A and B are shown apart, each in its own frame.
Chain A
Amino acid sequence: MSAPRRFAPIQRLLHWLMAACIIAMLFIGVGMVSTVAPTYLPLIMIHKTLGVTLLILVMIRLALRRHYGAPPLPADLPPTIKLGARLSHLFLYGCMIVMPLLGLGMLWAAAYPVVLYGGIQIPALLPQSDRVHTLLWNAHVYLGLAFFALVLLHVAAALFHALVRRDGVFGTIALFPLKSRTTAAE
């Protein structure tokens, strides 16, 4: 399959939908663990439900990625930057898959029932274990912070492409066509 010039519309839609949800997840995560107010409970309910939804969405997204591929990066981008872009995207995908699994696993290993919005129960796939709980909990916390840092870096890079380099990279993922910029990558 020849490389597309832009991400397919469904890919672009998912990118932005998930971006908004993931940023919300990160903020809800650190917000809920630092409060004892009644909002704690709705927040953690949203966190679990949205987190599991995102796990399903990232699977769909990866399938679409395999099907449609991705547009090439500009030819004049230095190889190290290209490598950095690829690695960071890989890491972003990794976080999108691993974070919800860690969240679920951490609750399973705590023998804590996972009940989502609407009373949906998710059966435990792990037995209670202090060691496993601690490992997954730490991973969820620290990977969550790393995820946020990486999202910031990613946003910085995207804005750099859009505002400084103006090389059309932003146009490949923009929800709506950006007239002058989309063609530039070619």
Chain B
Amino acid sequence: MNQSGNPSRSGSGSLVLIAAVLGGSAAAFAYTAGWLSPGRLTPEQMISALTPPSGAPFGHRRNHAKGICFTGVFEANGNGAELSSARVFERGTYAALGRFNLGTADPNAVDATVRVRGLGLQIAAADGEEWRMALINPPIFAVSTPQAFHDLLIASGKKDPEAMKMFIQANPEFTAFATWAKTAPWTTSYAEEPYHGLNSFIFTDAKGGEHAVRWSLLPTAKGTAVSQAELQSRGPDFLEQEITERVRIAGPQRWTMVTTVADPGDPTADPSKAWPEGRRTVQVGTLVVQRIEPEQDGPCRDINFDPTVLPRGIRLSDDPFPAARSSVYRKSYDLRAAEAGDYPRTGAAKP
């Protein structure tokens, strides 16, 4: 029974079948990879929307590109244990590592020109688990969905003033953020800012009870509000210089971590909607910033403060942002690590 070398009529039919299987598989693969669907919102598209006209900040984060590292501890007071079984809420002190930053894609931005200030944080529990987050100072996010964030980046990058008008018509939630941006006081220090997580997560307590929460870091340092014009009279990097000096002279800086618990029906899927006043809050601990280091050789440089890196006891809610952020932050990390040569370490700080 040896038919080899003799492709029969059914043989040519078979060849067609084989070709169809291969072609179909390749097409399905290309479709899954998004190569056939230019409309799909990909991390690449998000990154290209973040890229300023002057070009990508090679070697730097694709957003919140300007920043400075800190190390310190998170002191848990034990109150968080009633909400979440995560080890970091058990009374104790946990190593913390983070980054103060500005919400801009330009690593050389002048500090006074950037409205949004942020904080990246990683808290390490003893058992090797990590909790990462990246928070910003506005009390609400600018838009309701990742797609709307992309559209905002595109619209705000256009010269045509109609573009923003049309964007706001389509995404009216943006006006709350715009009002904050216009009216909120400016401070002269990273230490005087509150930082809000904005995204909603689910805490699971030891009994299996679930609580939808958001959290913030509220500063213990009291600041005086100043005008943006006043800030402009300072140097372009005054925030980094100020926090370095402050920690060196005045010692560690503290923020209280406050968890807000949602009532049933509060919007968890939309970070542009604040929860009503009067929700239950629990102070779970204190972030203590003990040491400031420049980013170039600092320990925060190599960390992706991906908000989906969560310890057991904390999980994602129906908020679509953490997943989108995780996907885009990964891509941003891939790029900046590959471009590290464009932002060389000085080698002075680390061996």
Using CB atoms and an 8 Å cutoff, list the residues of chain A in contact with chain B. 26-27, 30-41, 44, 74, 76-77, 110-113, 119, 121, 123, 128, 130-131, 133-134, 137, 148, 152, 155-156, 159-160, 163-167, 180, 183-184
Task: Flag if B302 contacts A111 (CB, 8 Å).
Answer: yes
Picked from B1, B26, B41, the residue with its CB within 8 Å of the CB of A36 is B41
A130 in contact with B33 given A34-B40, A41-B316, A163-B18 (CB within 8 Å): no
Task: Flag if B26 contacts A152 (CB, 8 Å).
Answer: yes
Please give me the residue from chain A that is nearest to B42 by CB atom: A34
Within 8 A of A (CB), among B50-71: none
Please give me the residue from chain B that is nearest to A155 by CB atom: B21
**Closest CB-CB distance, B120 to chain A, in whole Å?**
13
Within 8 A of A (CB), among B307-329: 308-309, 312, 316, 320, 322-324, 326-328
Task: Flag if A30 contacts B32 (CB, 8 Å).
Answer: yes
**Closest CB-CB distance, A165 to chain B, in whole Å?**
5
Task: Flag if B130 contacts A35 (CB, 8 Å).
Answer: no
**Closest CB-CB distance, B111 to chain A, in whole Å?**
27
B126 — which chain A residues lie within 8 A by C-beta?
none
Task: Flag if A27 contacts B32 (CB, 8 Å).
Answer: yes
A164 in contact with B25 given A41-B308, A137-B334 (CB within 8 Å): no
**Closest CB-CB distance, A139 to chain B, in whole Å?**
13
Q: Does B221 contact A (CB under 8 A)?
A: no
Please give me the residue from chain A that is nearest to B23 by CB atom: A152
Question: What are 10 A-B contacts with C-beta separation under 8 Å?
Answer: A35-B41, A36-B324, A36-B327, A112-B309, A134-B337, A155-B21, A156-B22, A165-B4, A167-B4, A183-B1
B309 — which chain A residues lie within 8 A by C-beta?
112-113
A77 — which chain B residues lie within 8 A by C-beta?
4
Please give me the residue from chain A that is nearest to B124 by CB atom: A113
Task: Flag if B22 contacts A152 (CB, 8 Å).
Answer: yes
A40-B324, A167-B2, A180-B1 are known; give 4 further A-B pairs, CB within 8 A: A34-B32, A110-B333, A164-B18, A166-B3
Q: Does B208 contact A (CB under 8 A)?
A: no
Task: Flag if A35 contacts B334 (CB, 8 Å).
Answer: no
A26 — which chain B residues lie within 8 A by C-beta?
29
B312 — which chain A residues lie within 8 A by C-beta?
119
Number of B residues, CB within 8 Å of A: 51
**Bound Cα distance from A166 to B32, whole angstroms:** 33
User: What's the dominant secondary structure at chain B's contact region?
Assistant: helix
**Bound Cα distance from A183 to B37, whole angstroms:** 47
A156 — which chain B residues lie within 8 A by C-beta?
18, 21-22
Task: Flag if B43 contacts A36 (CB, 8 Å).
Answer: yes
B1-43 vs A, Cβ < 8 Å mask (1 yes, 0 no): 1111001001100110110011001101100111000001111
Please give me the residue from chain A that is nearest to B334 by CB atom: A137
**Closest CB-CB distance, B282 to chain A, in whole Å?**
24
**Bound Cα distance from A149 to B303, whole angstroms:** 34
Task: Flag if A35 contacts B42 (CB, 8 Å).
Answer: yes
B26 — which chain A residues lie within 8 A by C-beta?
152
Please give me the residue from chain A that is nearest to B309 by CB atom: A113
B4 — which chain A residues lie within 8 A by C-beta?
74, 76-77, 165-167
A134 — which chain B residues lie within 8 A by C-beta?
334, 337-338, 340
Please give me the residue from chain B that is nearest to A32 by CB atom: B327
**Bound Cα distance from A31 to B97, whole angstroms:** 32
Q: Does B264 contact A (CB under 8 A)?
A: no
Task: Flag if A130 contacts B302 (CB, 8 Å).
Answer: yes
A164 — which chain B residues lie within 8 A by C-beta?
3, 7, 11, 14-15, 18
**Bound Cα distance from A130 to B338, whole angstroms:** 7
Please give me the residue from chain A that is nearest to B18 by CB atom: A159
**Bound Cα distance from A65 to B125, whole angstroms:** 43
